[in-house]
């Protein structure tokens, strides 16, 4: 989490120096990540054992779909990007890997396994939102302001926010899990935090499959992009 706070992309937000190309890449790739989150949330509904859990996940899925388009339209407008062009971008390498990471536990049909890597991303976003908001440096003229505002005042943060509600489900399910299931869940949580860092990094450098291909094929793969 601290590494995420210190990442140059987040630092550029803090200093109102977000690069327009990095933000455009972030918007397009996060929309693709959000589509994977939609699939994860349908699996959470499908694998719930009570109507109360089904309702929790279905209600959040509905809010997710509303906020995804509202927030990303606002970010696109702030960044002078055409909203109609943002939703059909190629899924780039890091986005591809992170999506696979949150989708991979779906066949397990296990609530703890499916919820943990997905909630880790929400938790990290809430914490980063808090970090940026408490810095008191991100104002309305900052193109990333709607993101910070959404995470602080939206449905995610706070005592009764969805992140805490999902954490409570994780704790409840963890009490019934085997040591091996707990170890897998913990690893999945940490890997999501790592993927979050790489997601900022990919946006900061606008990493594409073309970059990866050139880097691998021209034999100058020195720095891992």
Ligand X SMILES: Cc1ncc(CO)c(N)n1
Report if residue 30 touches ligand X, rule: CB under 6 A: yes
Smallest gap from Cβ 102 to ligand X, in A, equals 9
Report if residue 33 touches ligand X, rule: CB under 6 A: yes
Stretch that binds ligand X, among 30-38, 44-52, 104-112, 182-190 (CB under 6 A): 30-38
d(CA 12, CA 19): 8
Report if residue 117 touches ligand X, rule: CB under 6 A: no
Pick one of 13, 23, 53, 121: the residue that binds ligand X (CB under 6 A). Answer: 121
Smallest gap from Cβ 33 to ligand X, in A, equals 5
* Nearest partner of 132 among 1, 3, 5, judged by Cα: 5
> In this structure, what token pair is assigned to residue 39?
């699939």
* Cβ pair 136, 72 in contact under 8 A: no
Select 25 or 125, whichever has its Cβ closest to ligand X: 125
Rounded (to 5) percent helix, strand, coil in the chain: 75, 0, 25
- In angstroms, what CA-CA distances link 57 with 82, 134, 223? 31, 29, 41
Q: Which residue is associated with the tokens 């109507």?
A: 51
- In angstroms, what CA-CA distances link 111 with 48, 147, 209? 7, 28, 33
Select 33 or 57, whichever has its Cβ closest to ligand X: 33
Smallest gap from Cβ 37 to ligand X, in A, equals 6
Which 163-192 positions form the footprint of ligand X (CB under 6 A)?
Answer: none
Smallest gap from Cβ 125 to ligand X, in A, equals 4
Name the residues that contact ligand X, by CB under 6 A.
30, 33-34, 37, 121-122, 125, 196, 199
């Amino acid at each position: 989490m601290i590494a995420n706070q210190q990442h140059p992309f987040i630092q550029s937000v803090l200093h109102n120096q977000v690069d327009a190309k990095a933000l455009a890449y972030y918007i397009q790739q996060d929309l693709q990540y959000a589509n994977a989150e939609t699939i994860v949330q349908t699996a959470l509904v499908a694998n719930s054992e009570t109507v109360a859990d089904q309702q929790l996940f279905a209600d959040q899925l509905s809010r997710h779909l509303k906020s995804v388009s509202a927030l990303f339209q606002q970010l696109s407008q702030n960044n002078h990007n055409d909203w109609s062009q943002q939703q059909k971008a190629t899924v780039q390498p890091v986005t591809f890997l992170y999506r696979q990471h949150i989708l991979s536990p779906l066949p397990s049909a296990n609530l703890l396994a499916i919820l943990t890597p997905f909630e880790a991303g929400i938790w990290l976003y809430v914490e980063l939102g808090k970090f940026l908001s408490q810095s008191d440096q991100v104002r309305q003229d900052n193109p990333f302001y709607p993101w910070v505002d959404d995470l602080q005042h939206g449905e995610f943060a706070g005592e009764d926010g969805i992140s805490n509600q999902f954490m409570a489900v994780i704790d409840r399910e963890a009490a019934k899990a085997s040591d091996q299931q707990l170890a897998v869940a913990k690893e999945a949580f940490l890997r999501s935090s790592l993927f979050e860092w790489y997601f900022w990094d990919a946006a900061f450098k606008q990493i594409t499959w073309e970059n990866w291909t050139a880097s691998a094929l021209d034999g100058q793969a020195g720095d891992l992009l």
